[in-house]
Amino acid sequence: MLFVLLLAAVLGSAIALVYARHEHRALFSELETLGAERDDLDIEWGLLQTEQSTWADAAQVEQRAVAEMGMVFPTPQDIVVTAP
């Protein structure tokens, strides 16, 4: 009887070990995939920050305002100062 009980315990622990190793491999694979995705997103984030700083550059904004919208700086006669 003791032998059957010990055999069941050994088989149970062996199955638990196999399951734990399988779970570890699956989770490690997912971790590697997510790490690669994070790296790709970090690269894209850097590119977007560079693009944003380019578009937000004052000279770039002024150039687009003049070229696309025909905007010009107001003359001193066109500026009106009002009191609060």
The predicted model gives 44-69 an average pLDDT of: 90
pTM over 0.75? The answer is: no
What pLDDT digit, counting tens, does each position of 4-50 carry? 999 999 999 999 999 999 999 999 999 999 999 999 999 999 999 99
Taking residues 49-76, what's their average pLDDT? Answer: 89
Closest CA to 16 of 27, 6, 24: 24
84 compared with 1, residue with greater pLDDT: 1
For the chain, helix, strand, coil in percent to 5 are 80, 0, 20
Inform me whether the pLDDT recorded for 58 exceeds 90. Answer: no
